[in-house]
Amino acid sequence: TVISFQNGVLKDQYLRAAFDGRQIMGGVGYVATTIESPGVIRQTGPMQRLLFGEFDGSRSERGQALLAACQAGGINAELSTDILREIWQKYVFLVGLSGTTTTMRKTIGPIRSHPQARAFLHDVMREVVAVGRAHGVALAEDHADAAMQRADGVAPDMTSSMHHDLDRGNPLEVRWLAGGVVELGQAKGVPTPLNRAIADILALHAQGASRG
C-alpha cells in the first residue's frame, strides 16, 4: 500500500503511473514543519492530523488497520470516505495561501486586510474550485467562500512554507500548486489566469537561488 501525504493533487497521478492503482490510497496531512537539513524535517508546531482513505470510499481493512496504528501512536488520524474531496479542500486553501504569500511576500494578515489582495486570494481559490469541479470532485460551488473563512480564522502572522522557501532560496513547489491548477484547468478547458500569473511570476525562483 502506498499513500502520499504530500501537497497537491497531481501526486496520485504520478503514483498510479508507477504502481498498480489498487495499491494506492489517498492521503492528506496537516502539520507545521520546516526543512532543517537535507533529509531532516522538523515539526514546528503542535498541529498534527492525518486523513486517508480509499478512492472508492470504502472503509477497507487496510484503512482501518492504519487508523488503529495511528491512534495507538497518539496521532490524530481519520479514515475518510471521500478522500478525494478532502485532498482538494486542502488544495484550494493551500494554493491560495502559498500563491499570495509568496508572490506578495507577506503573511496572511496584510493580504486578507487589503481589499485588492483579498479579492485576488479569493479569486485564486475560486479558480481551484472550478477546476476541481470540472474534474468531478464533490466540492461545493461556493467552497472558496469557506476557504476564505478559514483564511480569516488563522493567525495574522501565518504564511506558507513556499514563502519561507523563497526567502531562503530553496526550490519551490509552485509547479504542483498553482502550476498544477493551470495544467488540470487546461485539460478541461477551465481558464485559470490568476494561477497562471502566480506560476509565471515564480518561475524564475522555482529551482531555488543557486539554480535560478
Question: For every one of its 212 residues, what pLDDT tens digit does the chain have, with 9 covering 90 and above?
Answer: 999 999 899 999 999 999 998 999 999 998 877 667 778 887 777 778 999 999 999 999 999 999 999 999 999 999 999 999 999 999 999 999 999 999 999 999 999 999 999 999 999 999 999 999 999 999 999 999 999 999 999 999 999 989 999 999 999 999 999 999 999 999 999 999 999 999 999 999 999 886 54
Which residues partner with 26 through β-bridges? 4, 53
**All domains in the chain, ordered by first residue:** 2-81 (3.40.50.720), 88-205 (1.10.1040.10)
Query: What is the reported pLDDT for 212?
Result: 47
Structure confidence at residue 52 (pLDDT): 98
Cell of 75: 496521532
